[in-house]
Amino acid sequence: MVCKRIEDTAQYCKEKFLGGLWVAAKMTKVLLSIGAVVFCIAIAVVLRTAMLGSKQIQPAPIDPIDLDAARVTEKLSRSIQYRTVSSPNPEQFDGEFLGLRRYLEDAFRRVHSSLTREIIGKHSLLFTWKGQDENLRPVLLMGHTDVVPVEPGTENQWIHPPFSGYTDGGYVWGRGALDDKITVIASLEAIESLLAESFRPRRTILLAFGHDEEAGGAQGAAQIGALLESRGIQLDYVLDEGGVITRQIVPGISSPVALIAVSEKGYASFELVAESQGGHSSMPPAQTSVGILSAAISRLETVPFPAILTRSVTSLYDYVGPEMPFHQRMVFANLWLFGPVLKQKLASSPATNAMIRTTMAATMFSAGAKENLLPAKARAVVNVRILPGETFDGTLQQLRRKINDPRIRIAPFGPISEPSSETDVSARGFQLLHRTIRQVQPDAIVAPSLLVGATDSRHMAKLSRETYRFLPIELTSDDLRRYHGIDERVSIENLGRAVRFYVQLIRNSQ
């Protein structure tokens, strides 16, 4: 604007000046409001962080639990020497299962003379240690005697032969050392030593050892569950394998962290089939059955299932958060604000990503018979692990929506198990396990967690509202890769820790 007269200029400048003042005042107000909101959020964040107190129980110390380490080591070693392999032809290993059962009778004589033993589904074992008070609901401790096979051609890669049960003074080596003969031997040894001191439980203790856990548990744990149900038994709590004491795995915590799985994911597989016209490959259509199916799998991989922080995962952070340095504690104390950041962080590694969403992995793919023939049919199998809170039906619907191609048939394939319910951490059993772990290993931080695999405990879902999956062995990430892998082994220290844990747990369960 060009001012023609001085008065006009003065007027203009006045208006401009007042307008500028008004804008400045408005902006200051907005900035002050934003500042006030940020300040309030910061105060809330700091207050919530400060209020996030430790959830760790501080039990009174207990007397040391005596144990004959050499004897229990020998028992684990001997049990590994029986090749009790889960196989599509179970008869093949009948002799091995029978041998193991005979060996257990010999190694745990007090258990076999004082407890009732039933043989279920040919090789599974159910022991009943009758309590003094029959009005109390029994406790069920679970494990399994079967092991996964050693992958053909890898036997020579083992430092010690996989079924040798070799003991080097520090470790017991062999298939089943970790998964799961240690549970069987340690729980039996605990009862054997309690019987030696004439201990009698007030509450009945049941021990269930399936023989086909690695194959789904249909003949073993499922039959035991059905039998207990037919007897009208309701359990106080169920404890199976699953969680362990991790060392240097949870970031920000140098102490060992005992993870008690309070839920486990569901399991299902789906077969996807695409069909197209066969014929000679010299005049192909735009897409063959291989192309159609590949595109579908690519869509499934590109759009993952939604990320959800389940109660098992948020309560994990409720328990480990207070033990972390301030900046990490701040995140876990304020999931209302940092939830999306945490989800993003967890999604960045396969192990933690599996904790926050239903996962899908294409595991089988086949098509085509000759290089110059159009494949009339392509087939793939995808394996899904369903997050607690979701269902098999819902997962199937989501798969259909993601694939969104009527040329592909989708059908369930193989065994299906729904995800478990989530046991509340305020339940009596959780507190009992928490106390027991802190009694036998006072430096361990105890926390609930979600198990991404499946265990036999799922066959007991109708029998108890409280199911836990935990074995008190301390493992690093190097040890974890030995599950189902080469050089499976367990330290004698861990074996002793497991026996002491079961002794104390049975004492506390009364």
Q: How far is the CB of 86 from Zn ion (least distance, A)?
A: 10
Nearer of residues 224 and 330 to Zn ion, judged by Cβ: 224
Stretch that binds Zn ion, among 152-160, 175-183, 468-476, 502-510 (CB under 5 A): 175-183
For residue 42, the one-letter residue type is A
Q: Tokens representing 475?
A: 């493992």
Q: Tokens representing 336?
A: 């209302």
**What DSSP state is assigned to residue 338?**
H
Residue 346: how many other CB atoms lie within 10 Å: 18
DSSP 345-394: HHHTSHHHHTTTS-EEEEEEEEE-SSTTEE-SEEEEEEEEEEPTT--HHH
> Which residue out of 96, 179, 189, 213 is catalytically annotated?
213
Residue 213 catalytic?
Answer: yes
The secondary structure element, H or E, covering residue 344 is helix 335-347
Count of residues binding Zn ion (CB under 5 A)? 2
Of 52, 97, 104, 180, the one binding Zn ion by CB under 5 A: 180
Tell which residue, 337, 335, 347, has the closest CA to residue 307: 347
Q: Binding to Zn ion by residue 236, rule CB under 5 A?
A: no
Residue 212 catalytic?
Answer: no
Q: Binding to Zn ion by residue 474, rule CB under 5 A?
A: no
> Which residue out of 96, 146, 214, 240 is catalytically annotated?
146
Stretch that binds Zn ion, among 104-112, 176-184, 243-251, 257-265 (CB under 5 A): 176-184
In angstroms, rounded to a whole number, what is the distance separating the alpha carbons of residues 67 and 502?
A: 12
Q: Tokens representing 49?
A: 């962080």
In angstroms, rounded to a whole number, what is the distance separating the alpha carbons of residues 198 and 207?
A: 19
Nearer of residues 294 and 449 to Zn ion, judged by Cβ: 449
Q: How far is the CB of 263 from Zn ion (least distance, A)?
A: 17
164 neighbors 81 (Cβ within 8 angstroms): yes
State the binding string over 128-167 for Zn ion (x if CB under 5 A, else -).
Answer: ----------------------------------------
Q: How far is the CB of 144 from Zn ion (least distance, A)?
A: 6
Nearer of residues 250 and 451 to Zn ion, judged by Cβ: 451
In angstroms, rounded to a whole number, what is the distance separating the alpha carbons of residues 206 and 194?
A: 15
Stretch that binds Zn ion, among 28-36, 173-181, 396-404, 425-433 (CB under 5 A): 173-181
Of 397-426, binders to Zn ion (CB under 5 A) are: none
The number of helices, as runs of H, and strands, as runs of E, in the chain is 15, 16
Nearer of residues 143 and 419 to Zn ion, judged by Cβ: 143
Q: Binding to Zn ion by residue 179, rule CB under 5 A?
A: yes
Which stretches of the chain bind Zn ion, using CB under 5 A? 179-180
**Which active-site residues does the annotation give?**
146, 213
